[in-house]
Chains A and B, each alone.
Chain A
Amino acid sequence: MTDITQKYANLAPTTAQKFRQRVLPFLALAVVLAIIPMSGPSGTAYTLLNVMGINIVFALSYNMLLGRGGLLSFGHAVYFGLGGFAAVHAMDAIGSAESGFWANYPIFFLPVIGFAGGALAGAVIGWPSCKRAGTPFAMISLGIAELIAAAGLMFGSIFGGEEGVTGDRMVGHEVFGLSLGPTSEVYWFIAFWTFVGVAGMFAFTRTPLGKLSEATRDNPERVEFIGYNPTRVRYLVFIFAGAFAGLSGGMAAVNYEIFTPEALSLVPSGLVLLMAYIGGIRYFTGPILGAILLTYMQSMLSDFTEAWLLYLGLLFICIVMFAPGGLAGVLYGFTDALRAGKLGEVIGRWAGQAIGSALALFGMIILVEVAVHWSNGFGETFEPYGLHLTFGNPLTWVLIVVPVVAGIVILRRLANTEEGVIA
């Protein structure tokens, strides 16, 4: 037996590896979260950071289904929203309570209420939805999202109608000396729960259920023949995914102090899918990257151009077609090549791909901007660097067609040589 134990000790990762792969990233995350405020961010930056934290937890919870469980859901915002509504109602209860449970419940721990609300919603809605996997699951999730979104507008006493339900976060007991008034104090609240959410969901991947979730994603038939009911595995994973979505909903309730039925709708459900996929669903860190990028695009890019949603769509299509591993896939590919000392071999191709993509993107931007200015501004024109680009101007078409064609030619050539190498 000691022999076996010895052999197994050689199999399992060493303590140093475990530290580097599992503990170090979380120490780094904690340090990053702690030093951000030292750089003295502006109010806008704090607002942006807070939304990023919420979206990181939300996108990771979505990836428990899509990436780890192989379940494509079109209605994950339902659990974010229901958790959020539970939290905002609890916030009101805290504000109006004179004594008893709610009077002693600090606002800081509202995400726990969100977690419970999301878990409850997941347990109820997951029961019928998880009977099926694959396309039926996706269709059921879409139907339920529509159902709950419609219910959100109908049941005014719960969801507050179109105005939603508002709350006040500066009530009840203070925890850690945070009044939660200014956004800089809300930052610590968000940072704390982001860390808890990320660590909790990572820990989940290390449990027997988390491993079985991956096994069920890859081969549900085989899972049945090692003693597990795949339906049960999916259902339990679904409850956890709902619970963590509810946690992010609770964070959002404190951050915005308002929840409207819009939070339950298909729009945030779609956005969280994009975050997870663009970030990379095969990697734990993928949805984190996706959430950061998309939150940034949503709040910053939308200041520069009205067409930011078109760019988001373009980005999504490009990721699906050219980088199915998402941003995390690209990043890990880069670090793997660096570690294997093969950077020299691949960097040329990557540089070519970057140039090709940049050219194609340049042409597309011109096209989109000219079109948007023309359609929105009643004859307004796109005038970058003093150029007067209208649809009638031949220069416009040169600037659109030449880079796009050149970019596509470069990308295709690279794709062909790659195939040639394999063949």
Chain B
Amino acid sequence: MSENALSLKGLTKSFGPAKIIQGVDLDIKAGERHAIIGPNGAGKSTLFNLISGLYTPTSGSVKLRGEEIGGMAPFKINRKGLSRSFQVSNIFANMTVRENVRCGVLYSMGYGYSFLRNIGNLKEVSEKTAEILESVDLIDKANLPAVLLPYADQRTLEIAITIAGGADVILLDEPTAGMSHSETDRAVDLITKATEGKTLVIVEHDMGVVFNLADRISVLVYGEIIATGKPEEVRGDPKVREAYLGDEADGLDEGDAA
């Protein structure tokens, strides 16, 4: 496939005098798994916020399958088939796990703002919800209040809500942050399975996850992409090694082992 799912051109974002994103150009092909890495404060989350509509770009363009979406409201971008997760679990804490996923399913099933239907009687919504809960292995915890879930399960629920609407471009912001090794392995399996055939853009600190999962990697430093390429190309890039000093450079090598 040669079509670009996501295409950024000359994208910048300033907060007052602070230039956080300083001209990012990036093409992500449909069906690709693309990781964005970079040191803390490089602007990775800001980049996600620009793509998903939380922030309006200062200049430049964001195109989803060739259509300009820069500065569009988040819910409109979501309806066009781009969905994102958050770095801190951003779930509906007072609802049960099942209700959380169901909220994510509703719009895509065409029930928008309906006030004339009993939600419990919407069979296809119930089935889709069960299917997603099944695929992320939360079905046994479906009727627990989301707030009572262990941390790793809350992160999983976050991903479940993100994929629930059936979007084909998925942005995941540090999905394994704060997880143990075994939890991370499970999460990677789950992400691989859940994003099968979809375009995935992922921000991640865990190099093991990045090198396992990604087809291509972009390295973001001080709001600029200094390298993009296959994992092995990026690992050997001297600019990248320079940006990642000390321990983190070792992390690049550890990616081999993982």
Contact = CB atoms under 8 A, between A and B. Distances in A.
Contact of A240 (B92, B94, B115, B122): B115
Contacts of B243: none
Given A208-B112, A224-B73, A229-B73, A8 B118 contact: no
A293 B119 CA distance: 33
Given A211-B99, A224-B78, A8 B129 contact: yes
B114 interface: yes
Interface in B130-150: 130-131, 133-134, 139, 142-143
B161 A226 contact: yes
Given A12-B126, A206-B120, A226-B164, A212 B106 contact: yes
Given A5-B130, A214-B94, 19 more contacts: A1-B127, A4-B130, A4-B134, A7-B130, A12-B120, A208-B111, A209-B115, A210-B119, A211-B99, A214-B92, A224-B53, A225-B162, A226-B107, A227-B75, A227-B79, A228-B75, A228-B107, A229-B73, A229-B75
A364 B133 CA distance: 55
B114 A222 contact: no
B59 to A, nearest CB: 23
B84 interface: yes
Interface in A207-260: 207-212, 214-215, 218-219, 221-229, 232-233, 236, 240
B14 interface: no
A225 B114 contact: no
B95 A224 contact: no
Interface string B93-121: 11100110011101110011111111110
A212 B113 contact: yes
Contacts of B118: 203, 206-207
A374 interface: no
A204 B117 CA distance: 9
A11 interface: yes
A219 B92 contact: yes
A227 B107 CA distance: 6
Contacts of A223: 75, 103
Contacts of A210: 115, 119
B175 interface: no
Nearest to A222: B90
B83 interface: yes
Given A7-B134, A207-B114, A208-B111, A222 B92 contact: yes
6 contacts: A207-B115, A207-B116, A211-B102, A212-B113, A228-B75, A229-B73
Contacts of A214: 92, 94-95
Minimum-distance CB pairs A-B, first 8: A227-B107, A8-B130, A224-B74, A209-B115, A227-B78, A207-B115, A208-B111, A208-B114
B119 A211 contact: yes
B165 interface: yes
A11 B131 CA distance: 12
Determine the main DSSP class of A at the interface with B: helix
Interface string B150-163: 00000000000110
Contact of A208 (B106, B126, B161): B106
A188 to B, nearest CB: 28
A291 B111 CA distance: 34
B28 interface: no
Contact of A236 (B73, B99, B115, B139): B115
B91 interface: yes
A230 B106 CA distance: 14
A221 B90 contact: yes
B22 interface: no
A215 B127 contact: no
B199 interface: no
A116 B153 CA distance: 46
B79 A11 contact: no
B160 to A, nearest CB: 11
A224 B75 contact: yes
A85 B195 CA distance: 57
Contacts of B95: 214-215, 218
A224 B164 CA distance: 14
A240 B142 CA distance: 30
A210 to B, nearest CB: 7
B52 interface: yes
B94 A11 contact: no
B94 A218 contact: yes
A13 B91 CA distance: 22
A225 B52 contact: yes
A369 B98 CA distance: 53
Contacts of B115: 204, 207-210, 236, 240
A208 B133 CA distance: 19
Nearest to A3: B134
